Chain A
Amino acid sequence: MSGEDLLLLFSEFVFLLLGIITTVDFIRHRNRIRRDIAMMFNSIAIPVTAGLLGRVITLPQWIGVLAILPLFAQPYLLIRLIQYLESVPKLIDRLAFGGLLFTLAALVIFRSPVPPVITLLVVVYFVVIDGYAMFAFIRGAIVTSGVVRQRLRFAAAGAGFLAVTLGVTGLPILIPSLQGMTAVTAQVLAMISAVAFYVSFLPPSWLRRLWQFSELRGFLFAISDPASADSTSVVTTYGKLGQTANRAVGGMISFILEQSPEDHAWRIAYASDDHALDMTALHEQSSALLAWQTKTSRSVRREAVSNEADRRLLDSVSAGTVMIVPITLSDRGMGLLLVFLKSTSLFPNDDLELLFLLAQQCATFLENIQLVEQLQSYSKGLEQKVDERTAELRQSEERFRSIFEQAAVGIAHRTLEGAFIEVNQRFCDIVGYSAEELFGISAQTLTYAEDYESDLKHVNTLLNGAAVSYTIEKRYRHKSGQPVWINLTVSLARRPNGEPDHYITVIEDITERIQAEAERHEAEARFARVLDTTAEGVITVDMNQRIILFNQSAERIFGYSAEEAMGQTLTMLLPPDVVSRHDRFLREFADGDDIARGMGQRQRDLAAKHKDGTIFPIEASISKLTEKDQVILTVFIRDITEKRQAEEALRESESRYHRIIDNMLEGFQILGQDWRYLYLNDAAARYGKMEKEALLDHTVTEMYPGIERTDMFASMQRCMTQRTSSIEEFEFGYPDGTSAWFQFSIQPVPEGISILSIDITERKAAEAALLGINEALEQRVAERTVQLQATNKELEAFSYSVSHDLRAPLRALDGFSQALLEDYEETLDEDGQEYLTLIRSESQRMGQLIDDLLDLSRLTRTDLNRAQVNLSDIAHEIAAELQRQAPSREVEFAIEDDLWSCADPHLMRILLQNLIGNAWKYSSKQARAHIQFGRQREQDEWVYFVRDDGVGFNMNYAHKLFGAFQRLHSMEEFEGTGIGLAIVQRIVHQHGGTVRAHGVVNEGATFYFTVGHESCA
């Protein structure tokens, strides 16, 4: 057997194996794809089998012919397989089928031998269709990955090599000389094709595992990529699963669904594309639900759909196939992976297996994430708990610390030896040492040496257990050396075994209390001194009326010394006639309930007897003090001799005022609550035109019937009821028909009201007269105003006609003079011509004068409109204009900046035009002139000025400067009408300002002006 035969045998064997295995596979699974695969490979395997058999046994001719027939269907069957991968163009489909028919027809018609041309066509048919299949497989391999891609690559290789094999086989028909060479090549190619098909459609399991492993490894790398920040999130992981699954099986879209644990509703956890999915298909007995419940993966192909739910699922994304894979981990379902394919898969089982593996890896990964997260949250919880406990502990410690620190008493812990362990702020405050200082000294430093012994005694009672604590009042030595009085409580803290550990000392500053006691003693002494200095005489007697206290004032009032009075009875201080009565009074008071009362209320006066025997008036009060069953009476006595004298003086003064009121010119009366006259003076009676006696004790309404209807009475009534005072003027009508004006000042007084009245009848008359005069004056002002307005009107009419009529004759003078000059030049001699020229220039000057006069009069007719105006700006503009008109002149302007004023802007411009224009004109003889505009302060007022260094003027003529048409220079010297300064003055006056000029001949002139207001605000 040659190598050539061996090759042939090997490839034939491989094809035979492919045919058998795919057939077995189809029988086992019974579906269309497997059937089509089996058919395709059997189309090659059958003729191969026949060839193999033919070598061993002689087969009848017809069997050989029949066996070759399926081979012709091979391209067509391959195209049918391609249809599972992609839709095949109609043309190819028809070509495949047409080629099949053509080949069969050729076989029937020609039998053997077939003409070479036909054989060539058949070969072309094979090459084209198988070639197309190769490209379809390559395309499929590009869009998928993983196992499928590898398998499709091999399928492409198989189809490609098959096509080339057939092509090579057909080559000798064209070039017969190649016969020998092509046979060997075809053998080799056929074998490669067979192996490629074998690897593609029946890959060994180790190869498949290898492919799957590399796919899984890629996926695991992707999901655990540390570069992506949220690599551990479920969403990202699902996303990567979806993308990988899509790519692995060449899916068009993939979804990952999750079931809510509460209501078992499905939701989309991930979608590779923004596409709707019919979720209702998941609620019925669909394949998806079945896959979920049984935890097995499955694929549903449109052609093999068995229930409505699956169809709806496919329809909702218009897919041909869906692969449903549960994402599970040890029977715990996490979700469902759905991958939709446009048409279907050539190797659905491989695809499902790979997807299942991916899903499982994903589930494992997610489970790990969850475990890590749980662990993290658990440790976080622990940390938080520790934090909380720490915070609580700190709080409680702080609470204790703040109680300790802020306690109102001083607290200290001391060792048994007396050293300080801990002290609070209050303790430090009391003893004056800081805590640091106390830690450095022993408790003995604070204790006075003489107190050691008693302290030791107390401490021992604690140490031997006789007492739990002891409290004593003692002194500490303050840091300043002063004693501090404290209330000290010491207790002994013991260890759990009962051994003494340390002392707890609580101290309270009682220095103030000790001081307060001292102060009380002092106060008592002070009280005694006060008693001695009081102005009232104070005498205390016991039950037997013996004097037991007699103060200094009593000594002064009665003339007895305290020594003399002590032990005596009160009787010696009383006038003899009241002794018995007084005695009875004292007894009654001593037995009565009153504690204090004034004396002498029952009698008009109370009297006492001086040591020298004089009797003098007193005021007295008595008080009773029961002390240890003893009644002590204290009498307070005031000598009222002086008070009596003062009362007398007051009475005298009152009667004096009475006389004054009686005789004064103003009327004065007092009316009682019942409107009766209680008092009235002579003037009041005179004003009322009544006798004083007739009015007294009678009511007002009785005496002046009808008065209750007057305003006067209303005011009186208001004062009577509301107790308010008023000053008003009234006209009072007498019963006899006459009347008079009064000014009333009505005041409330305890008895009723008082009225002070003044007769103002004459004043009223004078006022009325004045009113008449004022009215007449106003009338006259109104008349004058009308006259003035009329005059103004006339003036306006006058200037109007001046403007129109006065100029016309001048124009005629000028015009006809010119006409004469032009038309009669020859007949006029030189003098005549000069005269006419003069007539002309004079008429023109007259015209200018009229214009100026009109300007001046117009100024008086315009209203003043004040506004904030920057005079500097205006001055600059005028200067620039002047310079422009006479560029050859050398003038230096010095204009102060920002001279703001409140004035009429238009008038200010005219004013400055005139002043600066004058300065310009009168400085024209200077080679280099200087013009200045500024302002200065004069008596709280801004004064503006325009200054030049021109010809100036003689101050003797200064008064003439501002008159209209007044000129100080000849026309030949300086031209002008002399109206400018008149206009300036008028403008300044309109502003309520002043203007003045100062000049020196040949040195220059300065014009000063003010504008009244300085600011518009």
Chain B
Amino acid sequence: MNAILIVEDNPSDLKLMQRALRKSNLSNDLATAIDGEIALDYLFGTDGDEYRHPLPVLVLLDLKLPKVDGLEVLEQIRKHERTQMLPVVILTSSKEQEDIVKSYRLGVNSYIRKPVDFNQFVEAVQHLGLYWLVLNESPFQ
């Protein structure tokens, strides 16, 4: 089963997300990238003719990232043929209208704001997993 790619620079948040995903009983592997550059390398980096990693089933993307920020990562994903139909969910602390509009303009599939309350957070991640990995019909299957 292909992995879920989590792009998150904050180790605490990363840990919490991993915990939340674990609690929601998803069997997918979790791949992590702690900045935009690593995320892009994960998706597009090659060993010769072969891509280094198989395509993840879902990308959970933070907006504020070192080096290459989340919006740019999203833009690259949508630009490449390999990934342009990949489900990408923005998961961020921001609820600035500007961020939401920009994300959707770049073709994000969902925009979720990280709640402070951990229980709500778990609930949000569970819903995410349920929706994108179980209910949603992917173009790659």
Same complex for A and B? Answer yes
Q: Complex Cα distance A38/B19, Å?
A: 131
A-B contact pairs, 6 of them (CB 8 A): A807-B114, A808-B93, A811-B16, A812-B12, A816-B12, A819-B19
Find chain B residues with CB under 8 A from A847 CB.
Answer: 115-117
Q: Contacts of B78 on A, CB cut-off 8 Å?
A: none
CB-nearest residue of chain A to B114: A811
Interface presence of B94 (CB below 8 A): yes
Whether A804 lies near B94 (C-beta < 8 A) is yes
- Say whether B118 contacts A815, CB under 8 Å: yes
Judging by beta carbons under 8 Å apart, are A808 and B13 in contact?
A: yes
Q: Is the CB of B93 within 8 A of A800?
A: no
The answer for the CA separation of A355 and B33 in the assembled complex, in Å, is: 118
Query: Of A807, A814, A815, which is in contact with the most chain B CB atoms at under 10 Å from its CB?
Result: A815
A805 close to chain B: CB less than 8 A: yes
Query: Is A803 in contact with B95, judged by CB distance below 8 angstroms?
Result: yes
Give, as a whole number of angstroms, the nearest-CB distance from A692 to chain B.
Answer: 80
Known: A807-B116, A812-B10. 12 other contacts (CB 8 A): A800-B94, A800-B96, A808-B12, A809-B12, A810-B116, A811-B114, A812-B12, A814-B118, A816-B16, A818-B119, A819-B19, A846-B116
Q: Are B119 and A805 in contact (CB under 8 A)?
A: no
Task: Verify A804–B114 contact, CB threshold 8 A.
Answer: no
A843 interface residue per 8 A CB criterion: yes
**Which residues on A are within 8 Å of B, measured CB to CB?**
800, 803-805, 807-812, 814-819, 840, 843-844, 846-848, 851, 854
Q: Within 8 Å CB of B96, what residues of A?
A: 800, 803
A818 touches B93 (CB 8 A): no
Min distance, Cβ B47 to any Cβ of chain A, angstroms: 35
Shortest Cβ distance from B52 into chain A, in angstroms?
A: 30
CB–CB B19/A815 < 8 A: yes
State A800–B69 Cα separation when bound (angstroms). Answer: 14
B12 pairs with A811, CB closer than 8 A:
yes
Q: Say if the beta carbon of B76 comes within 8 Å of chain A.
A: no
| A851→B116 CA distance, assembly (Å) | 11
Chain A contacts for B119, CB-based, 8 A? 818
Residues of B within 8 Å of A811, CB to CB, are: 12-13, 16, 93, 114-116, 118, 121
Q: Which residues of A contact B13 (CB under 8 A)?
A: 808, 811-812
How far does the alpha carbon of A819 sit from the alpha carbon of B13 in the complex, in Å?
13
Cβ–Cβ contact A844 & B12, under 8 A:
no
From A803, A805, A840, A846, contact of B118 by CB (8 A): A840
| Chain B 16-52: CB-based contact to A (< 8 A → 1; otherwise 0) | 1001000000000000000000000000000000000
Docked-complex contact A815 and B94, CB < 8 angstroms:
no
**In the assembly, what is the distance between CA of A808 and CA of B115, in Å?**
9
The 6 A-B pairs at the shortest CB distance, nearest first, are namely A847-B116, A812-B12, A815-B16, A815-B118, A818-B118, A807-B93
Q: Are A804 and B63 in contact (CB under 8 A)?
A: yes
Could you tell me the distance between the alpha carbons of A843 and B119 in the complex, rounded to whole angstroms?
13
B12 near A804 (CB under 8 angstroms)? no
Residues of chain A within 8 A of B12, CB atoms compared: 808-809, 811-812, 815-816
Find residues 52-101 in chain B having any chain A CB closer than 8 Å to their own CB.
63-64, 92-96
Q: Complex formed: what's the CA distance from A810 to B120 in Å?
A: 14
Q: Which of chain B's residues have a CB closer than 8 A to the CB of A800?
A: 94, 96
Give which listed residue, B19, B64, B117, B121, contacts A804 with CB less than 8 A: B64
Please measure, in the bound complex, the distance between the C-alpha atom of A662 and the C-alpha atom of B27, giving whole angstroms. Answer: 114
Docked CA distance A851–B93 (Å)? 11
Q: How far apart are the CA atoms of A817 and B121 in the complex, in Å? A: 13
**Contact A844:B117 (CB < 8 A) given known A808-B13, A819-B19:** yes
Expressed in whole angstroms, the Cα–Cα distance for A805 and B93 within the complex equals 8
CB neighbours of A840 from chain B (8 A): 117-118
**CA of A847 to CA of B116, assembled, Å:** 6
Do B118 and A804 touch (CB < 8 A)?
Answer: no
Residues of A within 8 A of B116 (CB): 807, 810-811, 814, 843-844, 846-848
- Within the assembled complex, what's the spacing in Å between the Cα atoms of A938 and B114? 47
Number of interface residues of B (CB under 8 A): 20
Docked complex Cα distance between A812 and B92 (Å): 14
Q: Are A815 and B121 in contact (CB-based, < 8 A)?
A: yes
Q: In chain B, what residue has the closest Cβ to A821?
A: B118
Q: Report which residue of A803, A817, A840, A854 has the largest number of chain B beta carbons within 10 angstroms of its beta carbon.
A: A803
Residues of B contacting A854 with CB < 8 Å?
95
B16 partner residues in chain A, CB cutoff 8 A: 811-812, 815-816, 819
Central interface residue in B13, B63, B64, B93, by most chain A CB within 10 Å: B93
Chain A residue numbers with a CB within 8 Å of B19 are 815, 819
With most chain A CB atoms within 10 A of its CB, the pick from B92, B96, B116 is B116
Bound form: Cα–Cα A129–B112 in Å? 108
Report Cα–Cα, A804/B91, bound state, in Å. 11
User: Closest B-chain residue to A823, C-beta based?
Assistant: B19
In the complex formed, the residue of B with least CB distance to A803 is B94
In the bound assembly, the distance between CA atoms of A846 and B116 in angstroms comes to 9
B92 CB contacts on chain A under 8 angstroms: 804
Residues of chain B with a CB closer than 8 A to A817's CB: 118
Closest residue of chain A to B116 (Cβ to Cβ) is: A847
The CA-CA distance from A812 to B118 in the complex, in Å, is: 8
Cβ of B12 to closest chain A Cβ, rounded Å = 4
Expressed in whole angstroms, the Cα–Cα distance for A804 and B94 within the complex equals 5
Q: Which of A804, A819, A843 contacts B93 (CB 8 A)?
A: A804
CA distance A811 to B63 in the complex (A): 16
Distance between B35 CB and nearest chain A CB, rounded to angstroms: 15
User: How far does the Cβ of B86 sit from chain A's closest Cβ, in whole Å?
Assistant: 24
User: Is the CB–CB distance between B10 and A808 below 8 Å?
Assistant: yes
Within 8 Å by CB of A803, from B10, B15, B93, B115, lies: B93
Residues of A contacting B95 in the complex (Cβ-Cβ under 8 angstroms): 803, 851, 854
Smallest distance from the beta carbon of A156 to chain B beta carbons, Å?
A: 93
Set of chain A residues within 8 Å of B121, measured between Cβ atoms? 811, 815
- B129 vs chain A, min Cβ distance (A): 17
Residues on B with C-beta less than 8 A from A805 are: 64, 93
Residues from chain B with a CB closer than 8 A to the CB of A818 are 118-119
Q: How far is the CB of A865 from chain B (nearest CB, A)?
A: 15
B95 nearest CB neighbor, chain A only: A803
A820 to B19 CA separation, bound complex (whole angstroms): 12
- Cβ < 8 Å to A, chain B residues 104-125: 114-119, 121
CA distance A85 to B18 in the complex (A): 114
Q: From residue A613, how far is it (CB to closest CB) to chain B in Å? A: 115
Q: How far is the CA of A805 from the CA of B9 in the complex (A)?
A: 11
Kindly state the separation between the CA atoms of A50 and B44 in the bound complex, as whole angstroms.
Answer: 134
What is the CA–CA distance of A810 and B117 in the complex, to the nearest angstrom?
Answer: 9
Question: Are B10 and A814 in touch, CB under 8 angstroms?
Answer: no
CB-defined contacts of B64 to chain A, threshold 8 Å: 804-805
Nearest CB on B from A843, distance (A): 6
Q: How close is A853's CB to chain B, nearest CB, in angstroms?
A: 13
CA distance A840 to B117 in the complex (A): 8
For B17, the closest partner residue in chain A by CB is A815
| Shortest distance between the CB of A94 and any CB in chain B (Å) | 88
A882 to B116 alpha-carbon distance, docked (Å): 25
User: For the complex, what is the distance from the CA of A854 to the CA of B116, rounded to whole Å?
Assistant: 15
Please report the C-alpha to C-alpha distance between residue A819 and residue B121 in the assembled complex, in whole angstroms. Answer: 13
Q: Across the interface, which residues of A come within 8 angstroms of B93, CB to CB?
A: 803-805, 807-808, 811
Q: Which residues of B contact A843 (CB under 8 A)?
A: 116
Complex: how many Å from CA A800 to CA B64? 10
Q: Given the complex, which residues of A lie within 8 Å of B118, measured CB to CB?
A: 811, 814-815, 817-819, 840
The distance in angstroms between the C-alpha atoms of A812 and B15, with both chains bound, is 9
Question: Please, which residues of chain B bring their CB within 8 A of the CB of A814?
Answer: 116-118
Q: Nearest chain-B residue to A818 (Cβ)? A: B118
Chain B neighbourhood of A851, CB < 8 A? 95
- CA A819 to CA B63, docked complex, whole Å: 25
- Complex-state Cα separation, A804 to B93, whole angstroms: 5
Q: How far is the CA of A847 from the CA of B95 in the complex (A)?
A: 13
Q: Determine how close the nearest CB of chain A comes to the CB of B95; give it in whole angstroms.
A: 7
A846 CA to B93 CA, complexed, in Å? 14
Shortest Cβ distance from residue A899 to the other chain B in the assembled complex, whole angstroms:
29
Q: How far is the CA of A843 from the CA of B16 in the complex (A)?
A: 15
Q: Tell me which residues across on chain B come within 8 A of A819, comparing CB atoms.
A: 16, 19, 118
Task: Tell me the complex Cα distance, A817–B15, Å.
Answer: 13
B16 to chain A, nearest CB (A): 4
Q: How far is the CB of B21 from chain A (nearest CB, A)?
A: 13
